[in-house]
Amino acid sequence: MVEETKSESLDGSENSQEAVIKEPVKIQFKIYILIFAIIYYSSWIIPGFILITYFFFIFRKYFLDTSNFVMLFTELYPLLSLILMPLLIIVCYLIHLLLIGLATKLCWSITEKISPSKNGIIPRNIQSKTANYYHMRSFMIKYGKNAFTKGMIPWLSNWFFNFVGASKIGKGSTIEESVGSDKFIDVGKNCYIGVNSTLASHLVQGIFGNISYFEVKLKDNVTLAAMNQIGPGSEIGKDSFLLPLATCLKHSVLKGGKYYVGIPLRKIFTNKIMAYLGLTPEDLERNDSLNEFITKNKKDKIKEKIKEETEEDFTIKQEKEESVDIDCLTKEDLALDFTTSSAISRINVKFLTVYIPIFWLSGFLVSIYLYEYTRDPGFTTILFLPIAIFSMWYIFIFGVLFFSKLLLILVNLIHKPREGIFIAEIGDKDYEFWMLRTELKKISLWLIRNSPFSWIDVIAFKWFGINMDFSSHLNDAWCDAEFVNFGRNNLIGQGATIMSSMVVGKYLIIKRVIFDDYVMVGGHTTIAPGTIMGRDSVIGAISTTIYNQILEPNWIYFGIPGIKLKENKYAEERRDLIMKRDVDQQVKVEMTHEVNIDEDKKKLIKTEKNKV
């Protein structure tokens, strides 16, 4: 999660001659894989054991080997083994979730003991123990988070976060699926955090800048409608109601009891609320004095008026459509000064039938593995079960990846992909082949992103011909898998959208997106086709770029559309200062805090006493 704020009168008068330290973040793959292995293995071994024993000793004996179909229902044992099987699956799944919680808690508490998580800015350009453990913790929570929130029973995710100790979530609160909101947050009772809302306790500012890591505090009865971004260090008071897309900058303090809207958020008046939400004054009154109405509700329960949904006439009076003369259209009319999306409208079913043989072939590879694996079942078979599940899953994925790549080569031989502006209608060769390519890539990317170890999706992107390596990562973003050039050490924020193609009206626009080294894209940012980002440049959160926009090197861009905000100089700034802002009073207060870094490296950081 990346977010940019307005510059606070920072003049670049101190031009320090000394070179700023620029060490890239060290990613300790070995420890990460170890942690993943512990969580994964321990969570599958017991449920797997129960399921296998049940399958081989009861389900097969009583159910599968009963040769008469009628006897399945008339005899007691076959019927019981059939009916208990789904229940056993549910129970095993619950045990699996419980064990994920236990294993994650174990790893979490060990890292907390070595280096506890505390408020403060973690410098990203200097390697330190705190930064390493911070990264490790954000890695280890991800597997559990995915398993819980994306899984069959998402209602248990609150329990998971509370149990692990990653964050505190009060009773009766609901957190919908989102990219952040997984650690170091404190949510009160009866809150509602809408879909795609991020409670970001951490933001990354610049590849060689800071990681701000401050606890996010939400008091009781706060509702975030949808897609709200809450920056680190924010304190949101009781009964604050945020409308969709309201964004809270870092270190904001909201007193509460009000409605907020906008980027960055501000309070709005009652008139505006009623206009925005289509409410009547009575509704607002009901909202404010909830308790009175509850008692009222109980009294006249019988009196319930059922509102009939009236079929409103939605058609707006339109002027008759005049035929437009193309030559009269001005440059402004046809400029692409807005951004839409690159999602495909039509899905061509007949092409997708190709996927049945692909699935079969890659499934066949898994079958061979399964055949060999179950040759003589014994104790070792069960011991290696989690590893077997993992490898079967990945054999399948890489099988699909391989065969779809073969198909892609064939398709590209028939028609070479090219940039340009084409007509987005069936019949246009470029459009049809663009759809086909997208569909072919989509399924293998979907599979790899939904696998337990989804960080290796870089392999899939590489495989489809995108130039990128493991130093950059984009696993929490929507990204087109063609015509995108990545540099080294790129960081694509969570929930960002990178589009190299866009359909506007009748036209399909394909243009290459280019990222230079050390580029950073903020969370929930939309990158339009043709964008070129220079070295070390940053685009903030919830911004968009427009068609063919060029972002200059070493600058921070922000807004819709993104314009220059300030120079990218995080590594040279004072890091012990933070700016608290009171949204209701519109006051900013400067405060100091302790930089979160190892004791022996504190002298490398510029503070009041210690001027580097």
Residues 77 to 96: which contact other proteins by CB under 8 A?
A: 82-83, 85-87, 89-90
- β-bridge pairing 532-533 and 513-515: parallel
Q: Minimum Å distance from CB 304 to other proteins?
A: 7
Taking CB under 8 A as the binding criterion, the range among 160-168, 236-244, 407-415, 571-579 that sits at the site for other proteins is 236-244
Determine the size of the site formed for other proteins (CB under 8 A).
Answer: 154
Taking CB under 8 A as the binding criterion, the range among 116-124, 128-136, 258-266, 592-600 that sits at the site for other proteins is 258-266
Q: Minimum Å distance from CB 424 to other proteins?
A: 10
Residue of 121, 126, 254, 499 that binds other proteins (CB under 8 A): 499
Q: Which two tokens stand for residue 100?
A: 């994920």
Q: Which two tokens stand for residue 60?
A: 């097969």
Which residues 261-300 are close enough to bind other proteins by CB under 8 A? 261-264, 266, 269-271, 275-281, 283, 285-287, 290, 293-294, 297-298
Site string for other proteins, 445-484 (x = CB under 8 A): xxx-xx---x--x-----------------xxxxxxx---
- Residue 199 φ/ψ, nearest 5 degrees: -95, 95
Which residues 534-553 are close enough to bind other proteins by CB under 8 A? 542-544, 546-549
Three-state DSSP at 158 gives helix
Considering beta carbons, is residue 24 or 561 the nearer one to other proteins? 561
Taking CB under 8 A as the binding criterion, the range among 32-40, 120-128, 225-233, 387-395 that sits at the site for other proteins is 225-233
Considering beta carbons, is residue 273 or 597 the nearer one to other proteins? 273
Considering beta carbons, is residue 234 or 494 the nearer one to other proteins? 494
Residue of 24, 165, 170, 561 that binds other proteins (CB under 8 A): 561
Q: Minimum Å distance from CB 381 to other proteins?
A: 14
Return the biggest CA–CA distance within the chain: 88
Instruction: Please choose, from the candidates 512, 508, 551, the residue with its C-alpha nearest in 3D space to the C-alpha of residue 529.
Output: 512
Site membership for other proteins, residue 524 (CB under 8 A): yes
Residues ≥6 apart with Cβ < 8 Å to 319: none
Cis peptide bond N-terminal to 264, omega within 30 = yes
Contact (Cβ atoms closer than 8 angstroms) between residue 262 and residue 279: no
- β-bridge pairing 478-479 and 497-498: parallel
Q: Which two tokens stand for residue 118?
A: 């505390």
Considering beta carbons, is residue 3 or 572 the nearer one to other proteins? 3
Site membership for other proteins, residue 70 (CB under 8 A): no
Residue of 115, 130, 212, 223 that binds other proteins (CB under 8 A): 223
Half-sphere exposure of residue 311, counting CA atoms within 13 Å on the CB side? 0
Three-state DSSP at 305 gives coil
Taking CB under 8 A as the binding criterion, the range among 43-51, 207-215, 316-324, 597-605 that sits at the site for other proteins is 316-324
Q: Which two tokens stand for residue 235?
A: 């304190």
Contact (Cβ atoms closer than 8 angstroms) between residue 414 and residue 84: no
DSSP string over 197-249:
-EE-SEEEETTTTEEEE--EEE-TT-EE-SS-EE-TT-EE-TT-EEPTT-EEP
Q: Minimum Å distance from CB 450 to other proteins?
A: 7
Q: Tell the burial category of 213 from Cβ atoms under 10 Å away from its Cβ (0-12, 13-18, 19+).
A: buried
Contact (Cβ atoms closer than 8 angstroms) between residue 561 and residue 198: no
Contacts by residues 264-273 (CB-CB < 8 Å, ≥ 24 positions apart) = 265/583, 266/583, 267/583, 267/584
Which residues 342-371 are close enough to bind other proteins by CB under 8 A? 342-347, 349, 352, 355-356, 359-360, 362-364, 366-368, 370-371
Which residues 137-166 are close enough to bind other proteins by CB under 8 A? 142, 145-146, 149-150, 152, 154-155
Q: Minimum Å distance from CB 536 to other proteins?
A: 19
Q: Minimum Å distance from CB 362 to other proteins?
A: 8
Instruction: Please choose, from the candidates 499, 456, 490, the residue with its C-alpha nearest in 3D space to the C-alpha of residue 475.
Output: 456
Separation between Cα atoms, residue 278 and residue 289, nearest integer Å: 19
Considering beta carbons, is residue 335 or 612 the nearer one to other proteins? 335
Residues ≥6 apart with Cβ < 8 Å to 29: none
Q: Minimum Å distance from CB 434 to other proteins?
A: 11
Site membership for other proteins, residue 338 (CB under 8 A): yes
Question: Where do we find the tokens 């998580």?
Answer: 117
Considering beta carbons, is residue 114 or 347 the nearer one to other proteins? 347
Which residues 563-592 are close enough to bind other proteins by CB under 8 A? 563, 586
- Phi-psi domain of 261 (left: phi exceeds 0; alpha: psi -120 through 50; beta: other): beta
Which residues 412-451 are close enough to bind other proteins by CB under 8 A? 421-423, 438, 441-443, 445-447, 449-450
Q: Minimum Å distance from CB 482 to other proteins?
A: 8
Q: Minimum Å distance from CB 335 to other proteins?
A: 5
Which residues 13-52 are close enough to bind other proteins by CB under 8 A? none
Q: Minimum Å distance from CB 364 to other proteins?
A: 6
Cis peptide bond N-terminal to 561, omega within 30 = yes
Considering beta carbons, is residue 154 or 170 the nearer one to other proteins? 154
Contact (Cβ atoms closer than 8 angstroms) between residue 538 and residue 554: no
Q: Minimum Å distance from CB 384 to other proteins?
A: 19
Taking CB under 8 A as the binding criterion, the range among 106-114, 162-170, 189-197, 513-521 that sits at the site for other proteins is 189-197
Three-state DSSP at 53 gives helix
- β-bridge pairing 484-485 and 513-515: parallel
Residue of 19, 76, 302, 324 that binds other proteins (CB under 8 A): 324
Q: Minimum Å distance from CB 571 to other proteins?
A: 27
Residue of 1, 204, 207, 243 that binds other proteins (CB under 8 A): 243
Three-state DSSP at 454 gives helix
Site membership for other proteins, residue 515 (CB under 8 A): no
Contact (Cβ atoms closer than 8 angstroms) between residue 188 and residue 219: yes
Site membership for other proteins, residue 195 (CB under 8 A): yes
- β-bridge pairing 520-521 and 491-492: parallel
Residue of 205, 339, 490, 568 that binds other proteins (CB under 8 A): 339
Considering beta carbons, is residue 296 or 603 the nearer one to other proteins? 296
* Cβ atoms within 10 Å of 322's Cβ, excluding its own: 6
Considering beta carbons, is residue 169 or 595 the nearer one to other proteins? 169
Q: Which two tokens stand for residue 221?
A: 């009865």
